[in-house]
Amino acid sequence: MRYFLSERNIRVTFLIYFNRPSKRTAAAHLNIVADDEHLITHPEFWPQVTQPYEYFRDEVDLLFELSSIYEEFGSVILMGDFNSKIGGPRCKIKNDERSKICKTLMSTHNLCSVNMELMCKGPVNRFQSYEGSPWTCIDHILINRTKLQHVKQTKVIDNHSFSTSDHHPILCTLETESHLLNPQETSDPTVSWERAK
């Protein structure tokens, strides 16, 4: 990453990499000179990569495993760029290989895409690649279908100033469940002045 940035005249003041099990992606904490910020926030600055099907399947398998483990402890919410079309009441899709894998994950864990439900406002399709291909719906917030009553609002923001990507942001307000027990009432220890006499 440091070489990639320096080749593009980005002045890096701090860079630390985070360990990732996948060697296909990178994660880092990056500080740059403020004057260069406008350069790296432009979506076309960063390299574009399309993962092979096998890598995609491995990533969905990992989501499957994580969902299986964590649903025992409470609600599981998966969100992000799935690089897969996922349909719902707002958008019917033609299932390709990636969609079929995601559909299996979703049916096994009873998940639905909040932004594909009728309650969602805004545009259905949120992404268009730079090559001018058709708009698609690959960004999703997945929750257990039985938890849909906890979704208070969801919308896709179109043409907003904080959207610095070719993906439209999805905003979702959820009412969360509390698993805390009601605290027992306790009184602070006090001195009984009547008894102290």
Q: Is residue 165 assigned to a domain?
A: yes
Distance of CA 12 to the CA centre of its chain: 27
Nearest alpha carbon to residue 125 among 79, 163, 156:
156
Domain closes at, from 16, 31, 47: 47
Hey, which of 70-74, 181-185, 186-190 has the most confident mean pLDDT? 70-74
- Is 88 contained in some domain? yes
For residues 41 and 133, state if they share a domain.
Answer: no
- What are the tens digits of pLDDT across the range 150-174? 999 998 887 666 666 667 788 889 8
- Give dist(CA 63, CA 98) in Å, integer: 14
The phi and psi torsions of 45 (rounded to 5 degrees) equal -65, -40
Domain that holds residue 10: 1-47
Q: Hey, what's the torsion of the CAs at 162, 167, 169, 174, to 10 degrees?
A: -160
Mean pLDDT, all residues of the chain: 78
Answer whether residue 197 is part of any domain: no
**Residue 87 sits in the same domain as residue 142:** yes
| Judgement on whether residues 149 and 74 belong to the same structural domain of the protein | yes
Q: Is residue 182 part of a domain?
A: no
86 and 149, same domain (yes or no): yes
CATH number at residue 147: 3.60.10.10
Same domain? 102 vs 131 = yes
Question: 135: closest CA among 174, 159, 167, 176?
Answer: 167
* 6 and 72, same domain (yes or no): no
Which one has a higher pLDDT value, 186 or 172? 172
pLDDT of 136 over the 80 cut:
no
Q: How many CB atoms lie within 10 A of CB 35?
A: 8
Residue 195 lies in a domain: no
64 and 2 in one domain? no
CA atoms of 136 and 40, how far apart (whole Å): 24
Is 49's pLDDT higher than 60? Answer: no
Return the DSSP state at 46: S
Phi, then psi, of 182 in degrees rounded to 5: -65, 130
Report residue 40 as tokens: 């790296």
Q: Is position 191 within any domain?
A: no
Q: Is residue 37 part of a domain?
A: yes
Q: Say yes or no: 31 and 109 in one domain.
A: no
* E strands, 68-144, in order: 78-81, 111-113, 139-144
In a domain, 183, yes or no: no
Strand partners, 17: 28
Report d(CA 22, CA 31) in Å as an integer: 23
Query: Are 99 and 64 found together in one domain?
Result: yes
CA distance 175 to 78: 16
Domain count, the chain: 2
